[in-house]
Structure 1
Amino acid sequence: MKPSIALVLAMLACSAPPAAAASFQSCLAAIGSRAVAAGVSPAVFERSTSGLQPDMTIIDLMNKQPEFRTPIWDYMAGLVDAQRIADGRRMLAKWGAVLGNVQRRYGVDPAVVVAVWGVESNFGENQGSYPLVQSLATLSCYGGRRHAYFQGEFINALKIIQRRDVDPAHLMGSWAGAFGNTQFMPSTFLRSAVDGDGDGRRDIVDSVPDALASTANYLAKAGWVPGSRWGYEVRLPSGFRPGLAGRGRKRPLAAWAAMGVRRVDGSPLPADNARAAILLPAGASGPAFVVFRNFDAIYSYNAAESYALAIAHLSDRIRGGGPFATPWPTDDPGLSRAQRRELQALLTRRGYDVGPADGAIGAKTVLAVKDMQRRLGLAVTGHPGLKILTALRGG
């Protein structure tokens, strides 16, 4: 049956830029037809969208460009710091029985599951404050070239509500639609969420066992190899060609050993045929790593090598491992979250408006750092690193 003219016009309104869209409500009407066709009951759609208004601040966030690209050493310093390592060890102990069951069921290292939880929501403390239905509806209608993707996620969020897995009042998340202890998108939830506490629901928001089991299930589906490591730090031979590195350039471990690649302590690599890649996240002068299939599984959670390395390294530290042996190639190391809060507090004392001293580096902090660097005779980079913190401590 052909769609009505009104429905066609409503669907075109969804595809148009905000200035040309007939209205948010007409866009929702078009999505409603798709949602019902996908299995969402009209009653659930009506109940979830009645009186709904767009939150255009979300579009501002989507379009906002970062002031600078975060160097890998800053990224790692903020995610793998003493506080998160200690909290991770506590959570590993507190939820040991649950994690043991999860490992037996899915084969995934408990420390990796805990590391994902720590990075994604700081162990449940920061699950997001945006109402998921409103966020995804706004992005569905005003999300530009990605509006079709967000429409799919919006419909999936309605399916979650319909299945009564998560209390709709608790369905809060990031502005982009990720939610829960381990920040699943709705489509990821529908594919990978499982009931970890046996209550018949898959609630990654209010049930830690559900969130941990769901994360392990996701990693298992992504190809996690039970009993295998993600990788480890290595030492490269003199003259190693950086072009050989890259997550997609795998060779048997024995082949890397034949080239002279060794463990970072100088011991030889195992002479086996496990396929592995060399990773150089900061270039040839920084730490080098050999990574296996499990690194790829972590990478699939958030497609960035820096993210996967942070999760992998945090899991090692939670288990009692030490920091990387090779220093990052910088004379201005990154700051932990506690140090970032200290930096912001010191800038505030100097009269700068950087907002709350929460450790989140935003545009105000960067501008204040630049001005202080200028006043102190430092290179004006805006980099919130150890140099400016040390200078402010002494001032």
Structure 2
Amino acid sequence: MIRMKSFLKSTILPVTAVIAMSFANIPVNAQDTNVNTELNNPIAPVDWLNTFKQTALKEGISESTFDTVFADWQPVEKVLYYDRRQPEFSRTFWGYIERSISKERIERGRRLLKEHKILLNEVYQKFGVQPRFLVAFWGLETNFGDYTGGFPVVDALATLAHDPRRSEFFTNELLLALKILDQGHIAHERMLGSWAGAMGQTQFMPSTFTGYAFDGDNDGKKDLWGSLTDVMYSSSNYLSQIGWNKEQTWGREVILPDGFNYELADLNIQKDLSEWQKLGVRRANGADLPKVVIDASIVLPAGHKGPAFVVYNNFRKIMVWNRSILYAIAVGHLADQLQGKGDLVAKKPANDKPLHRDEAIALQAALNTLGFNAGNPDGILGSKTRAAVKAFQIKHGLPADGYPEASLVTRIITEANG
């Protein structure tokens, strides 16, 4: 997860908050004695709950709703486990794509496109979001509704609101979840979701639900768990409101010319397709780029040795949904596959290995030692670390793709220790 700008400063939250992105990938019975799940909060749960109740009542939550949902509440240790847990390995581009886009998922997605053609076309006419993208989001978020989460949303959010680490954000989400219950959109026992409160078949946080959920079947409820009509209307409404362009796709795989300046491969750099064409960028099959006026960026999710993509406005909107380049490419590529397009032209290398968290921490510390600010060594290879890697590459005359491949990591650590 990721990848996400400040939760509290943004008025438009990603549908799946960074903290909720990988809940389905963690075993439900996972245990790890190295993960600190203690609350580290001097306020006892009962005292916090009494104080929070006064806040909730002032916000208009009914006392009967509050007393019902909090009748037996205690902080959920497993929620804190997931919140504290960091993956031991970073996931490579190829590992991510293979996990996200299977042959079975593609085949099922194509069947669902046909099965729900009338609904999806109806939604397209109203909101302008192409059906194949809606089905791709649906498939990646919950495997078409199969895995929507098993945590009672109120219990999970209350646990994280009581925990001081991100209390303000989760207190707000909890209040909104209670309002959703008060409004009768879903029964308490059916309000299940991720460990971090993401809900329904496309994993809306309560704030996203409140802002964008849509009663598509006109039954007076916005049911993102059981009504596929509401799911598709709500997802389309969200994408439409944040600026989805129905006239464009997400982007496409491309090939770059010899001598390409990899410093240009950056989401902060946009050029018209005609400019990229002049710089030698071509479609993956060698053909010219489309002759249309579209601002686009080049991204290299696996570095200059891996596949290259030219990406458009809708790619950026996918990243509002989930601020991960890998996720955005997966949504776009799955949508293409659902439409009948083929696999990527670039091929997975034989030595595709993820970076261990200890190696990532050592890399960040080494970059800091050498004067390239990678931030606090936390093992998370975010934008700051990649910018530091790119600065190191530029200084040493290397292809400046910002990608920490194994031999480069060894070089940086060796130089820092030398």
TM-score (norm 2): 0.73
Q: Which shows bigger deviation, 102-111 or 18-27?
A: 18-27
Contact kept in structure 1, 2:94 and 2:352, CA below 8 Å: no
Secondary structure of 2:96's partner?
A: helix
Contact kept in structure 1, 2:92 and 2:353, CA below 8 Å: no
CA drift at 1:118: 0.6
Q: Deviations over 1:199-223 (max 9, x none)?
A: 1211001111111111111111121
CA drift at 1:123: 0.7
Secondary structure of 1:91's partner?
A: helix
Q: Give the alignment's Cα RMSD to 1 decimal.
A: 1.6
Letter of the 2:348 counterpart: W
Which runs of no fewer than 5 residues in structure 1 stay unpaired?
Answer: 1-16, 335-395
Q: Deviations over 1:161-197 (max 9, x none)?
A: 0111112211001101111011111111111110122
Q: Distance in 2 between matches of 1:173 and 1:41?
A: 22
CA drift at 1:38: 2.6
Does 2:305 match 1:285? yes
CA drift at 1:72: 1.1
Letter of the 1:146 counterpart: R
Among residues 134, 137, 152, which one is paired with 1:116 in the alignment? Answer: 137
Match of 1:134 in 2: 155
Q: Distance in 2 between matches of 1:246 and 1:40?
A: 46
Aligned residues: 317
Secondary structure of 1:214's partner?
A: helix
Q: Give percent identity, aligned residues only.
A: 38
Letter of the 1:227 counterpart: E
Among residues 178, 198, 203, which one is paired with 1:178 in the alignment? Answer: 198
Contact kept in structure 1, 2:216 and 2:230, CA below 8 Å: yes
CA drift at 1:284: 0.8
CA drift at 1:241: 1.4
Among residues 300, 309, 312, which one is paired with 2:332 in the alignment? Answer: 312
Does 2:288 match 1:252? no
CA drift at 1:39: 2.7
Letter of the 1:231 counterpart: G
Q: Which has the higher helix share?
A: 1
TM-score (norm 1): 0.77
Contact kept in structure 2, 1:24 and 1:141, CA below 8 Å: yes
CA drift at 1:257: 1.1
Contact kept in structure 1, 2:212 and 2:237, CA below 8 Å: yes
Q: Distance in 1 between matches of 2:248 and 2:288?
A: 18
CA drift at 1:52: 1.4
Secondary structure of 1:290's partner?
A: strand
Q: Deviations over 1:106-160 (max 9, x none)?
A: 1001111001111111111101001111111111102x32111111111111011
Listed as ranges, the matches of 1:31-110 within 5 Å are 31-110=52-131
Among residues 297, 319, 322, which one is paired with 2:342 in the alignment? Answer: 322
Match of 1:378 in 2: none
Secondary structure of 1:18's partner?
A: coil
Contact kept in structure 2, 1:73 and 1:333, CA below 8 Å: no
Q: Distance in 2 between matches of 1:33 and 1:255?
A: 59
Contact kept in structure 1, 2:92 and 2:352, CA below 8 Å: no
Which runs of no fewer than 5 residues in structure 2 stay unpaired?
Answer: 1-37, 355-418
Match of 2:51 in 1: 30
Q: Distance in 2 between matches of 1:244 and 1:332?
A: 25
CA drift at 1:332: 4.6
Q: Distance in 2 between matches of 1:171 and 1:103?
A: 28
Q: Which shows bigger deviation, 17-26 or 244-253?
A: 17-26
Letter of the 2:149 counterpart: G
Match of 1:150 in 2: 170
Q: Distance in 1 between matches of 2:256 and 2:40?
A: 55
Which is greater in Rg?
Answer: 1
Among residues 158, 161, 168, which one is paired with 2:181 in the alignment? Answer: 161
Q: Distance in 2 between matches of 1:302 and 1:330?
A: 29
Match of 1:208 in 2: 228
Contact kept in structure 2, 1:36 and 1:42, CA below 8 Å: yes
Q: Distance in 2 between matches of 1:305 and 1:138?
A: 30
Taking structure 1 as reference, are residues 330 and 36 closer, same or farther at Cα in structure 2, changes over 3 Å only?
farther
Q: Distance in 1 between matches of 2:147 and 2:290?
A: 41
Q: Which consecutive aligned stretches of 4+ in structure 1 deviate over 4 angstroms post-superposition?
A: none
Which protein has greater RCO, CA pairs closer than 8 Å, 6+ apart? 2
CA drift at 1:30: 2.0
Q: Distance in 2 between matches of 1:82 and 1:42?
A: 49
Q: Distance in 1 between matches of 2:293 and 2:87?
A: 42
Q: Distance in 1 between matches of 2:95 and 2:165?
A: 31
Among residues 300, 319, 322, which one is paired with 2:320 in the alignment? Answer: 300
Letter of the 1:232 counterpart: R
Contact kept in structure 2, 1:242 and 1:283, CA below 8 Å: no
Q: Deviations over 1:306-364 (max 9, x none)?
A: 01111111111011111101113443599xxxxxxxxxxxxxxxxxxxxxxxxxxxxxx
